[in-house]
């Protein structure tokens, strides 16, 4: 039984855990569900929406298990509103950066969702959004 539990623990290495938001020292709370971005059978990244410091935040995190073999990618995180035709709040990361927070949107009174992208220089990308939160 202990070996099976250890095997399960090893199988899920690299699960995304939100780090402290460097732009909101008082802390953030996840709202809504997590969106998992997959490339075939491989889970590449997690996208989450948070609230804190009177703002909404998008967060994307590339899993350790995928990143171990992939370094040539870029991340983007954004907050979208229900009525918006473009991102209200957007931030992109450096090449190979494992996690990106958006810049923070003053949209707590609106219906929002977090959007995350994993982009490759070849033009291939993964895109996903969380459920909408009002």
Residue numbers of the chain with a pLDDT score lower than 70: 1-19
∠ CA 56-57-63, nearest 5°, is 150
Each residue of 20-54: pLDDT tens digit? 899 998 899 999 999 999 999 999 999 999 999 99
Residue ranges per domain, the chain?
A: 2-129
pTM of this structure = 0.84
Q: Could you give the CA distance from residue 67 to residue 59 in angstroms, rounded to a whole number?
A: 17
């Amino acid at each position: 039984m202990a070996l099976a539990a250890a095997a399960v623990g090893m199988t899920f290495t690299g699960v995304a855990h939100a780090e402290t938001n460097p732009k909101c020292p008082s802390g953030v709370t996840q709202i809504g569900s997590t969106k998992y971005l997959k490339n075939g059978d491989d889970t590449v990244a997690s996208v989450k929406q948070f609230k804190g410091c009177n703002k909404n935040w998008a967060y994307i995190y590339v899993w350790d298990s995928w990143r171990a073999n992939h370094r040539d990618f870029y991340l983007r995180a954004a907050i979208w509103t229900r009525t918006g035709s473009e991102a209200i709040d957007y931030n992109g990361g450096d090449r190979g950066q494992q996690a990106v927070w958006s810049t923070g949107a003053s949209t707590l009174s609106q219906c929002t969702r977090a959007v995350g992208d994993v982009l490759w220089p070849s033009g291939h990308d993964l895109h996903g959004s969380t459920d909408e939160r009002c």
